[in-house]
Chains A and B, each alone.
Chain A
Amino acid sequence: MDLINFEATELRLGLPGSTGEQPEKKSTPSPVNTNKRSSSEMDSSISEKQDSSRSPPPTKVQVVGWPPVRSHRRNILQGKKSESEMGSGIYVKVSMDGAPYLRKVDLKVYKSYGELMKGLQEMFKCIIGLYSEMEGYKSEYAPTYEDKDGDWMLVGDVPWDMFLTSCRRLRIMKSCEVMES
Chain B
Amino acid sequence: MVYSLPEEVLEHVFSFIVSDKDRNVVSLVCKSWYEMERWCRRRIFVGNCYAVSPSIMIRRFPEVRCVELKGKPHFADFNLVPEGWGGYACSWIEEMSKAYPWLEEIRLKRMVVTDESLELISTSFKNFRVLVLSSCEGFSTDGLSAIAANCRNLRVLDLQESEVMDLSGHWLSHFPETFTSIESLNMSCLGSEVSFSALERLVARSPNLKTLRLNRSVPLGKLSTLLHLAPQLVELGTGAYSSGIRSDVYSSLSKAFLGCKEIKGLSGFWDVDLSYLPAFYSVCSRLTTLNLSYATIKSPDITKVISQCPNLQRLWVLDHIEDSGLNALALSCKNLQELRVFPSDMYAADANVTLTEQGLVSVSQGCTKLQSVLYFCHQMSNSALITIAKNRPNLTCFRLCIIEPRTPDYLTHEPLDIGFGAIVKHCKNLNRLSLSGLLTDRVFEYIGVHAKKLDMLSIAFAGDSDLGLHYVLSGCKSLKKLEIRDCPFGDTALLANVAKLATMRSLWMSSCAVSIGACKILSQKMPMLNVEVIDENGTLDSKLDSCLVEKLYVYRTVAGPRSDMPGYIWTMDRDSSSRI
A interface, CB within 8 angstroms of B: 23, 25, 28-32, 35, 37, 39, 42-43, 45-46, 49-52, 54, 56-57, 60, 62-74, 76-78, 80-81, 112-114, 131-133, 156-163
A54 neighbours in B (Cβ, 8 Å): 349-350, 410
Chain A residues within 8 Å of B485, by CB: 65
B240 contacts A159, C-beta separation under 8 Å: yes
Instruction: Pick the residue among B243, B401, B413, B464 that contacts A39 (CB under 8 A).
Output: B464
B408 within 8 A of A: yes
Residue from the list A46, A69, A132 in contact with B346, Cβ < 8 A: A69
25 examples of A-B residue contacts, CB within 8 angstroms:
A25-B405, A31-B512, A32-B511, A35-B546, A37-B488, A39-B464, A45-B406, A49-B413, A49-B438, A54-B349, A57-B349, A60-B347, A63-B486, A65-B75, A65-B79, A67-B343, A68-B77, A68-B460, A70-B135, A72-B163, A74-B346, A156-B245, A157-B244, A161-B271, A162-B217
Task: State in angstroms the CA–CA spacing of A112 and B247 once bound together.
Answer: 14
> Within the complex, what minimum Cβ distance (angstroms) separates B237 from chain A?
14
Mark each residue of chain B from 464 to 490: 1 if its CB lies under 8 Å from any CB of chain A, else 0: 110000000000000000000110101
CA distance A11 to B177 in the complex (A): 79
Evaluate contact between B513 and A29: CB separation under 8 angstroms: no
Provide the bound-state CA to CA distance between A52 and B407, in Å. 10
Chain B residues engaging chain A, CB cutoff 8 angstroms: 75, 77-80, 135, 161, 163, 189, 217, 219-221, 240, 242-249, 270-271, 273, 293-294, 296, 342-347, 349-350, 376, 401, 403-408, 410, 413-415, 434, 438, 440, 458, 460-461, 464-465, 485-486, 488, 490, 511-513, 546-550
Q: Which of B75, B403, B408 contacts A49 (CB 8 A)?
A: B408
A70 and B78 within 8 A (CB):
yes
**Out of A31, A112, A162, which one reaches B240, CB within 8 Å?**
A162
The smallest beta-carbon distance between A39 and chain B, in angstroms, is 5
Q: Which of B244, B403, B407, B486 contacts A159 (CB 8 A)?
A: B244
Given contacts A39-B488, A42-B464, A159-B271, contact A70 B161 (CB under 8 A): yes
Residues in B with CB closer than 8 Å to A132 are 246-248
Closest CB in chain B relative to A26 CB, distance in Å? 12
Q: Check if B350 sits within 8 Å of A56, measured CB to CB.
A: yes
Using Cβ atoms and an 8 Å threshold, which residues of chain A touch B347? Answer: 60, 62
New contact pairs (6) apart from A32-B513, A64-B78, A162-B271, CB-CB < 8 Å: A32-B550, A63-B405, A71-B77, A72-B189, A73-B293, A73-B342
Q: Are B245 and A114 in contact (CB under 8 A)?
A: yes
Contact of A67 (CB < 8 Å), options: B350, B403, B438, B547: B403
Residues of chain B within 8 A of A70, CB atoms compared: 77-78, 135, 161
Which of B246, B403, B490 contacts A133 (CB under 8 A)? Answer: B246
Measured between beta carbons, the chain A residues less than 8 angstroms from B78 are 64-66, 68-71
Main secondary structure of the interface of B (DSSP, over half): loop
> In the complex, A114 Cα to B381 Cα: how many Å?
47
Contacts of B273 in A (CB 8 A): 159
A133-B221 in contact given A39-B465, A65-B78, A72-B163 (Cβ < 8 Å): yes
The 8 Å CB contact of A69, one of B135, B221, B342, B413, is B342
Counting chain B CB atoms within 10 Å of each CB, the highest count among A43, A112, A159 belongs to A159
Tell me whether A50 and B464 are in contact (CB under 8 A). no
Closest to B408 in A: A49
Task: Chain A residues near B217: list those with CB within 8 A.
Answer: 162
Taking a contact as CB atoms under 8 Å apart, the answer to whether B438 and A46 are in contact is: yes
**CA of A35 to CA of B544, assembled, Å:** 11
* CB pair B349 A56 closer than 8 Å: yes
A160 to B271 CA separation, bound complex (whole angstroms): 9
A38 to B135, CA, bound (A): 39
| Alpha-carbon separation in the docked complex, A54 to B379 (Å) | 10
Asked if A80 meets B77 with Cβ closer than 8 Å, knowing A72-B163, A162-B240, the reply is no
**Bound CA span A32–B514, Å:** 8
A56 to chain B, nearest CB (A): 6
Task: Please indicate the chain A residues that have their CB under 8 angstroms from the CB of B407 in the complex.
Answer: 49
Q: Which residues of A contact B189 (CB under 8 A)?
A: 72
Closest A residue, CB atoms, query B270:
A76
| Residue of chain A at shortest CB distance from B414 | A50
In order of increasing CB-CB distance, the 9 nearest A-B pairs are A65-B78, A30-B511, A156-B244, A159-B242, A50-B413, A113-B245, A31-B513, A65-B80, A133-B246
Instruction: Give B459 Cβ to nearest chain A Cβ, in Å.
Output: 11
Which A residue sits closest to B271, measured CB to CB?
A161
Query: Are B401 and A68 closer than 8 Å at their CB atoms?
Result: yes
Complex Cα spacing A163 to B163, Å: 24
A18-B135 Cα distance, complex, nearest whole Å: 39
Which of chain A's residues has its CB closest to B318's CB?
A: A77
Chain A residue nearest in CB terms to B74: A68
What chain A residues lie within 8 Å of B219 (beta carbons)?
Answer: 157-159
Are A77 and B344 in contact (CB-based, < 8 A)? yes
A133 vs B222: C-alpha distance in the bound complex, in angstroms?
A: 12
Closest CB of chain B to A12's CB: distance in Å? Answer: 16
Q: Are B244 and A32 in contact (CB under 8 A)?
A: no
- The residue of chain B having its C-beta at the shortest distance from the C-beta of A112 within the complex is B245
Q: Which residues from chain B contact A50 at a C-beta distance below 8 Å? A: 408, 413-414
Q: For the complex, what is the distance from the CA of A62 to the CA of B293, rounded to whole Å?
A: 23
When distances are taken between beta carbons in the complex, the residues of chain A under 8 Å from B404 are 25, 57
User: In whole angstroms, what is the CA distance A99 to B75 when docked?
Assistant: 58
Answer whether A66 and B405 are a contact pair too, CB < 8 Å, given A32-B548, A158-B244.
yes
With a cutoff of 8 Å between Cβ atoms, the chain B residues found around residue A28 in the complex are 486, 511
Chain A residues near B440 (CB-CB < 8 A): 46
A163–B331 Cα distance when bound, in Å, is 40
Q: Are the C-beta atoms of B242 and A161 separated by less than 8 Å?
A: yes
Q: CA–CA, A35 to B546, complex, Å?
A: 7
CA distance A77 to B270 in the complex (A): 10
Contacts of B488 in A (CB 8 A): 31, 37, 39, 42
| A67 touching B294, Cβ below 8 Å | no
A153 to B513, CA, bound (A): 59
Of all chain B residues, the one with the shortest Cβ separation from A74 is B346
Q: Could you tell me if A76 and B77 are in contact, using CB atoms closer than 8 angstroms? A: no
Give the complex CA separation of A103 and B275 in angstroms: 32
In the bound complex, residues from chain B placing their C-beta under 8 Å from that of A31 are 488, 511-513, 548
Specify which of A66, A68, A74, A131 lies most central, judged by the most chain B CB atoms within 10 Å of its CB.
A68
B246 & A156 in contact (Cβ 8 Å cutoff): yes
Contacts of B405 in A (CB 8 A): 25, 63, 66
A45 and B243 alpha carbons, distance in the complex (Å):
51
Residues in A with CB closer than 8 Å to B294 are 73, 76
CB distance from A167 to the nearest CB of B (A): 13
